[in-house]
């Protein structure tokens, strides 16, 4: 089987890392390609891994903040290896997203934007097949999970529960992320506490980081309704990966009408928190989510990646890929290479 080197960063308290690690466990089951997963944080290890594994293609779980060592020059140097990026932001063809040869996005809310773009594939999210317990709670129980930041609007969740119920439990799993401002995180938690004004509202906050997805899913499965009420944001944001584990828990979900959730905000019946009472969202159950459970499976995720790399490896090399390969084996002078890099390739 052909080797495909799949590269992730090393910071575990990071949403980008967690998505990358999650996908690696799926790709490890491939019978068509040998996906070799590696975590790294420097150029020297990057070169060493390529020399060691001699891959036919490279797959990056890249975002600039988590892989600052991956320069444009380094990407151009290894372009002959058919570089693919698993993107976490909204892709804008023709602008800054032209460094890699190919892109994989999970932004199904913007899928129609890329129908005629040949080097971008938009896939559904990957959900775990959770078969654990779902708590039967004595009181209505609401919750969420994610790194605490102002844009995630966690105090609003508490405010809504406090306003609509006299007796309820609120369970917040709010670990501090590596890239999170910890002062901001502490302020968010204190703001959540201030929103409780009724003695019958039991607010529980857990800040322990769970590296194991299943621990987070078990936590979310213990809530009757999981709420993600992020603030409005421009189109340039990605889609929030924190929702993947809540969907995996197979519990009702409420989200705000923001671009962070453009991949689920138009479901029916509506799961938009601004347009519904919490009781309505509870009563609707998981009806709106059932199609996602069937579509966003491990089997479909793996098949999609295998289909994509079958296409990529069978594509004829681009002009720059041909030039880089000639340079690598010493058949092209550096001056010709630089001229090619500044031309239309």
pLDDT recorded at residue 345: 38
Q: What is the mean pLDDT of the chain?
A: 90
Report the distance separating Cα 227 and Cα 155, nearest Å.
Answer: 11
Per-residue pLDDT band for 96 (boundaries 50, 70, 90) equals very low
Residue 102 included in any domain: yes
**pLDDT computed for residue 171 by the predictor:** 98
- 248 and 305 part of one domain: no
**CATH number of the domain residue 117 falls in:** 3.40.50.10140
Question: Range of 215's domain?
Answer: 141-295
Q: Is the pLDDT higher at 96 or at 87?
A: 87
Same domain, 259 and 172: yes
Q: Which residue has the higher pLDDT, 96 or 166?
A: 166
Q: Note whether residue 327 is domain-resident.
A: no
Least confident piece of the model among 50-54, 130-134, 283-287: 130-134
Do residue 52 and residue 176 come from a single domain? no
- Same domain? For 154 and 44 the reply is no
Q: Can you give the CATH number for the domain in which 267 is found?
A: 3.40.50.2000
Q: How confident is the model at residue 85 (pLDDT cuts 50, 70, 90)?
A: very high
SS3 166: coil
Q: Is the pLDDT of residue 342 over 80?
A: no
Burial of 314 (0-12, 13-18, 19+ CB in 10 A): exposed
Are residues 240 and 95 part of one domain?
A: no
Report pLDDT for 44: 98
Tell me how far apart the alpha carbons of residues 11 and 126 are, in angstroms, rounded to a whole number: 21
Rounded mean pLDDT, 263-276: 96
Are both 185 and 201 inside the same structural domain? yes
Same domain, 149 and 96: no
Model confidence at 249, in pLDDT bands (50, 70, 90)? very high
pLDDT exceeds cutoff 90 at 201 = yes
Model pLDDT, residue 232: 85
Q: Which helix (H) or strand (E) holds 37?
A: strand 33-39
Q: Tens of pLDDT along 100-130?
A: 999 999 888 777 778 778 888 999 999 999 9
Closest among 309, 303, 297, 305 to 126, alpha carbons compared: 297
pLDDT above 60: residue 344: no
Looking at the structure, do residues 6 and 98 belong to the same domain, yes or no? yes
Residue 59 placed within a domain: yes
Residues 308, 258: one domain? no
Predicted confidence band of residue 343 (pLDDT cuts 50, 70, 90): very low
Q: What average pLDDT score do residues 127-141 get? A: 93
Among 4-8, 178-182, 308-312, 339-343, which stretch is predicted with the lowest mean pLDDT? 339-343
| Number of domains observed in the structure of the chain | 2
Query: Do residues 147 and 265 both lie within one domain?
Result: yes
Residue 162 lies in a domain: yes
End-to-end CA distance of the chain: 30
Domain presence at residue 136: no
Lowest mean pLDDT among 220-224, 231-235, 337-341: 337-341
131 burial type by CB count under 10 A (0-12 exposed, 13-18 middle, 19+ buried): exposed
> Do the Cβ atoms of 219 and 143 come closer than 8 Å?
yes
């Amino acid at each position: 089987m052909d080797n495909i080197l799949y590269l992730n960063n090393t910071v575990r308290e990071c949403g980008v890392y967690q998505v990358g690690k999650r996908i690696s466990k799926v790709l490890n089951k491939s019978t068509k390609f040998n996906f070799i997963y590696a975590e790294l944080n420097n150029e020297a290890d990057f070169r060493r891994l390529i020399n060691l594994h001699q891959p036919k293609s490279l797959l990056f779980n890249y975002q600039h903040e988590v892989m600052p060592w991956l320069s444009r020059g380094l990407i151009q140097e290894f372009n002959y290896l058919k570089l693919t990026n698993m993107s976490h932001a909204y892709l804008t063809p023709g602008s800054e997203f032209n460094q890699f040869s190919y892109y994989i996005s999970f932004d199904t809310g913007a899928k129609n934007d890329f129908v005629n773009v040949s080097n971008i594939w938009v896939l559904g999210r990957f959900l775990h097949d959770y078969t654990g317990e779902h708590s039967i709670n004595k009181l209505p129980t609401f919750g969420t999970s994610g790194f605490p930041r102002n844009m995630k609007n966690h105090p609003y969740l508490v405010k809504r529960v406090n306003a609509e119920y006299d007796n309820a439990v609120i369970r917040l799993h709010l670990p501090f992320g590596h890239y999170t401002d910890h002062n901001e995180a502490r302020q968010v938690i204190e703001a959540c506490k201030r929103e409780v004004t009724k003695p019958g509202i039991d607010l529980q906050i857990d800040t322990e980081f769970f590296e194991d997805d299943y621990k987070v899913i078990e936590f979310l499965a213990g809530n009757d309704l999981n709420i993600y009420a992020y603030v409005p944001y421009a189109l340039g944001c990605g889609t929030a990966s924190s929702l993947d584990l809540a969907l995996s828990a197979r519990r009702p979900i409420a989200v705000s009408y923001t671009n962070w959730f453009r991949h689920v905000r138009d479901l029916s019946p509506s799961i938009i928190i601004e347009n519904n009472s919490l009781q309505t969202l509870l009563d609707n159950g998981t009806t709106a989510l059932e199609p996602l459970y069937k579509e966003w499976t491990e089997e479909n995720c793996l098949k999609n990646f295998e289909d994509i790399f079958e296409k990529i490896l069978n594509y004829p090399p681009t002009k720059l890929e041909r030039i880089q390969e000639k340079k690598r084996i010493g058949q092209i002078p550096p001056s010709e290479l630089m001229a090619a890099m500044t031309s239309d390739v």
